[in-house]
């Protein structure tokens, strides 16, 4: 691909985003222009787009999305929050820390960052504001904490990465995300505690007794058991990761309707509609992203980028820092799923030169792009938290900065310490 054509296509893509054209349409139009300017057969884009969705593992994404919505509606989020509040709600910044760890637990059920912010934040953000937390900080904590959902298994971005990176096992990716997910949670809980302690926020409730904690644990037992069902079934060989998503849906439905009884039959249609909307947005992006990734690969763009980066920086530390900066920048403008498909074949050849395996790279890639959920102009989590807190997006972003710094530190640790993501492999 000629240099001028690369600049033209990329400029068109960012221009369309800046004028608020939906990212899927921006991607599709840019791709069409690329095929037209290169005088390639445009039937290829249709075939690539179709084949991108013609995949059995891809079925896991809508299923996990539906399971997450069912969990949020069926009272699971509230019970998880009550459990976390009993153990750490009495500390300075107690509700902020509760938000972080509730997202850690709920993220293991939904696999979606914005869905996790909506489910947990709709409960904790108003409660934090009522206790005197700054609205921007309360919303910022929830926005950052929601990112844990794409790191802790089951994770929709992990499924997409495994499909993009041929030979990568979805179940092994899930295992690789367990410790990084916990590290990510701690990287947010610590600054949330320090900021809250400095301003005197939280710590207004009495410390829970072991009796009240056991009661909360009993109420949340079905929610806590969900990851055991999903991951236990996968690793025992009872069902595949794709089949586990269907099991998760059935489990979430039974819990919500027949056990917790918070989900009414009349609400099922609304739940299915929410899940369908979220799924359609993701599925509309994936075909175009796959086609663009194949186009770039066919035009030797990965080799070009590798050569430029090799000439610009030297050594592992410099290269990794440049890659991290690129991931954060791309995450500001592009959807995570689309970015994974495009960037994986571009960057993986670079990191293998420094001994990074596909699973550590996958975690680094997803975490780096995940920061885009907090950074404008894309910032999906920011806008969800903004709607809940009824404050400005700028206020939410400023409030999220301490946690965002902690997330960046966690990303560096996972990038340069392989054991964090490979200890169980």
Summarised one tens digit per residue, pLDDT across range 172-188 is 999 999 999 999 999 99
Q: 330: helix, coil or strand? A: helix
Instruction: Judge if 263 and 226 occupy the same domain.
Output: yes
- Give the pLDDT confidence of 358-372 residue by residue, as tens digits: 999 999 999 999 998
Tell me, what's the pLDDT at 183?
A: 96
- Give the pLDDT confidence of 260-279 residue by residue, as tens digits: 898 898 888 998 998 888 78
Tell me, what's the pLDDT at 248?
A: 86
User: Is 8 contained in some domain?
Assistant: yes
Alpha-carbon distance of 148 to 308, in angstroms, equals 33
User: Is 88 contained in some domain?
Assistant: yes
Higher pLDDT: 155 or 28? It is 155
Higher pLDDT: 345 or 204? It is 345
Contact indicator for 181, 158 with CB cutoff of 8 Å: no
Tell me, what's the pLDDT at 242?
A: 80
Locate tokens 């909506």: which residue?
Answer: 118
**Prior bond of 154 cis (ω within 30°):** yes
Alpha-carbon distance of 425 to 100, in angstroms, equals 26
Tell me, what's the pLDDT at 279?
A: 80
Instruction: Judge if 11 and 147 occupy the same domain.
Output: no
Share of the chain above pLDDT 70, in %: 92
User: ∠ at Cα 114 (386, 270), nearest 5°?
Assistant: 100
User: Is 89 contained in some domain?
Assistant: yes
Tell me, what's the pLDDT at 46?
A: 72
- Give the pLDDT confidence of 44-68 residue by residue, as tens digits: 667 767 776 777 777 788 888 888 7
Instruction: Judge if 120 and 23 occupy the same domain.
Output: no
Alpha-carbon distance of 314 to 308, in angstroms, equals 11
The helix or strand, by DSSP H or E, that contains position 345, with its residue range, turns out to be helix 336-352
Rounded to an integer, the average pLDDT of 16-27 is: 76
C-alpha atoms less than 13 angstroms from C-alpha of 358 in its C-beta half-sphere: 17
User: Is 416 contained in some domain?
Assistant: yes
Enumerate residues 6+ apart whose C-beta is below 8 A from 138: 96, 124, 125, 128, 129, 389, 399
Contact indicator for 100, 192 with CB cutoff of 8 Å: yes
Contact indicator for 80, 116 with CB cutoff of 8 Å: no
Say how many domains are in the chain. Answer: 2
Q: 388: helix, coil or strand? A: helix
Tell me which range, 251-260, 310-319, 331-340, 412-421, is most confidently predicted by mean pLDDT: 412-421
Domain that holds residue 18: 1-40
Enumerate residues 6+ apart whose C-beta is below 8 A from 48: 287, 290, 291, 294
Tell me, what's the pLDDT at 177?
A: 94
Burial class (CB in 10 A: 0-12, 13-18, 19+), 284: middle
Q: Rg of the Cα trace of the chain? A: 21
Q: How many CB atoms lie within 10 A of CB 130?
A: 10
Instruction: Judge if 35 and 104 occupy the same domain.
Output: no
Residue 131 structure tokens: 């206790």
Alpha-carbon distance of 397 to 392, in angstroms, equals 9
Contact indicator for 400, 382 with CB cutoff of 8 Å: yes
Instruction: Judge if 158 and 26 occupy the same domain.
Output: no
Residue 116 structure tokens: 């996790």
Instruction: Judge if 91 and 201 occupy the same domain.
Output: yes
Supply the pTM of this predicted model. 0.82
Q: How far is CA 341 from each of CA 26, 165, 239, 335, rounded to the nearest angstrom?
A: 16, 9, 26, 10
Tell me, what's the pLDDT at 186?
A: 96
Instruction: Judge if 95 and 28 occupy the same domain.
Output: no
Alpha-carbon distance of 419 to 364, in angstroms, equals 13
User: Is 218 contained in some domain?
Assistant: yes
Diameter over CA atoms, the chain: 72
Residue 238 has pLDDT above 70, yes or no: yes
Alpha-carbon distance of 219 to 196, in angstroms, equals 29
Residue 385 has pLDDT above 80, yes or no: yes
Rounded to an integer, the average pLDDT of 281-305 is: 71
- For residue 92, what are the β-bridge partners? 202
Residue 119 has pLDDT above 70, yes or no: yes
Residue 302 has pLDDT above 80, yes or no: no
Name the average pLDDT for the chain.
85
pLDDT-derived band at 331, boundaries 50, 70, 90? confident
Tell me, what's the pLDDT at 5?
A: 67
- Give the pLDDT confidence of 61-99 residue by residue, as tens digits: 888 888 878 887 888 878 888 888 888 888 889 999 999
């Amino acid at each position: 691909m000629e240099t001028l054509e690369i600049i033209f296509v990329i400029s068109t893509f960012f221009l369309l985003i800046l004028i608020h054209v939906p990212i899927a349409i921006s991607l599709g139009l840019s791709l069409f222009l690329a095929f037209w300017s290169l005088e390639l057969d445009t039937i290829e884009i249709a075939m690539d787009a179709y084949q991108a969705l013609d995949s059995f593992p891809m079925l896991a994404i809508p299923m996990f999305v539906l399971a997450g919505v069912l969990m949020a509606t069926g009272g699971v989020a509230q019970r998880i929050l009550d459990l976390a509040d009993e153990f750490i709600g009495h500390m300075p910044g107690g509700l902020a820390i509760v938000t972080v760890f509730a997202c850690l637990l709920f993220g293991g059920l939904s696999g979606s960052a914005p869905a996790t912010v909506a489910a947990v934040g709709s409960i904790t953000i108003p409660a934090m504001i009522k206790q005197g937390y700054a609205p921007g900080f309360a919303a910022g904590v929830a926005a950052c904490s929601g990112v844990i959902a794409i790191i802790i298994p089951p994770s929709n971005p992990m499924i997409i990465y495994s499909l993009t990176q041929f030979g990568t096992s979805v179940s092994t990716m899930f295992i690789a995300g367990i410790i990084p997910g916990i590290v990510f949670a701690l990287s947010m809980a610590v600054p949330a505690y320090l900021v809250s302690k400095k301003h005197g926020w939280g710590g207004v409730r009495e410390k829970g007794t072991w009796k009240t904690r056991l009661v909360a644990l009993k109420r949340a037992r079905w929610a806590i058991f969900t990851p055991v069902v999903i991951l236990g079934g996968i690793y025992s060989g009872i069902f595949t990761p794709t089949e586990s998503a269907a099991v998760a849906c059935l489990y979430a439905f039974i819990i919500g309707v027949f056990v917790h009884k918070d989900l009414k039959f009349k609400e099922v249609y609304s739940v299915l509609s929410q899940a369908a909307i979220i799924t359609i947005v993701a599925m509309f992006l994936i075909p175009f992203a796959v086609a663009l990734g194949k186009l770039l690969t066919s035009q030797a763009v990965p080799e070009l980028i590798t050569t430029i980066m090799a000439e610009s920086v030297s050594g592992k530390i410099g290269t990794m820092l440049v890659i991290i900066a690129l991931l954060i920048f791309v995450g500001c403008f592009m959807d995570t799923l689309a970015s994974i498909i495009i960037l994986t074949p571009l960057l993986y050849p670079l990191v293998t030169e420094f001994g990074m395996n596909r699973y550590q790279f996958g975690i680094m890639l997803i975490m780096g792009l995940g920061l885009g959920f907090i950074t404008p102009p894309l910032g999906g989590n920011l806008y969800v938290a903004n709607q809940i807190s009824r404050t400005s997006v700028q206020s939410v972003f400023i409030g999220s900065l301490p946690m965002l710094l902690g997330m960046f530190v966690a990303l560096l640790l996972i990038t340069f310490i392989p054991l964090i993501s490979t200890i169980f492999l």
